[in-house]
Amino acid sequence: MAQPAVSASPAPYELIEVRPLAGSLGAEILGADLTALSDDLYGEIYRAFVEHQAIVIRDQDLSTDQYLAFARYWGEINIYPFMKGLDTHPEVLEILKTEEDTYAFGNAWHSDGSFNPVPPKATMLYAQELPPAGGDTLFSSGYSSYETLSDGLKQLLAPLKAVYIGESQRKSWDTLKAMQHNTEAAAQVGGVHPIIRTHPDTGRKALFCSSHIVRFDGMSDEESAPLLDYLKAHAIRPEFTCRIRWQPGSLSIWDNRCTQHYAIDDYAGQRRRMHRINIEAEEAPY
């Protein structure tokens, strides 16, 4: 469906309660029943998503069909090509860490699918099984990291593009015994994107810099490394971040066009199972 218009001066929320989680980004959404979704309810959730960049909707009890119905409001669903989805619902990727796994999927700062020619617009993650404590997700704001750069560095970065490749995830995937994956195929995928991108809904600029970058386009790895190392560290300064603590029934949605995230691996020997859906972007980064 067509996405709701986002006003520069939005009206108060009437159908949901929105509680900011941190100064740069993040919000908790209360009072939403996604089993009774309407265009008006979706419009408010989408507005909160654009405004806060990463949101978590609490207290949901959705079947997989209902989860998919909600996701389709957001756009075309991206079928992740490198891991097998659920047998009954291939659009849904199960992110599973068992008691035996020694590495957590997403345990590095990244933006989902940034190594694809057209990265996904949004990611949804719905909690299925959680450890008693731990397994939180950190998010950082590309808006904040861009806006705090010096004017000189902004000018330097404005024309630059970065090369992203799937090979950067290969090591972590190879340690996940419980998930079916194709690391050989992923290693062949790559994208070239602006290091500074413009958000199509807000017009704001964001630093688009994560662990999947290997170099600047037209430069060698060695030439790129000093500036990339600085930008990667700058992008995740604590004041640009928020932390989402998972609870049963939590469904988080984040904007891959202006955020990156990190799955904290602090629950060794315990089980964590999540259902992920990616939403296609309408256009490549610009």
Stated length of the chain: 286
Which residues touch 88 (CB under 8 Å, ≥6 apart)? Answer: 64
Cβ pair 111, 119 in contact under 8 A: yes
Report which residue type is found at 2. Answer: A
Give kind and range of the element (H or E) at residue 145. helix 142-147
Nearest alpha-carbon partner for 77 in 126, 113, 120, 35:
120
CB 59 within 8 A of CB 30: yes
Which residues sit opposite 251 in a β-bridge?
57, 126
Q: Name the amino acid, one letter, at 51.
A: E
List active site positions.
Answer: 110, 112, 261, 276
283/200 Cα distance (integer angstroms): 9
Cα–Cα distance measured from residue 254 to residue 112, given in angstroms and rounded to the nearest whole number: 10
Contact partners, residue 10, CB within 8 Å, separation at least 6: 47, 51
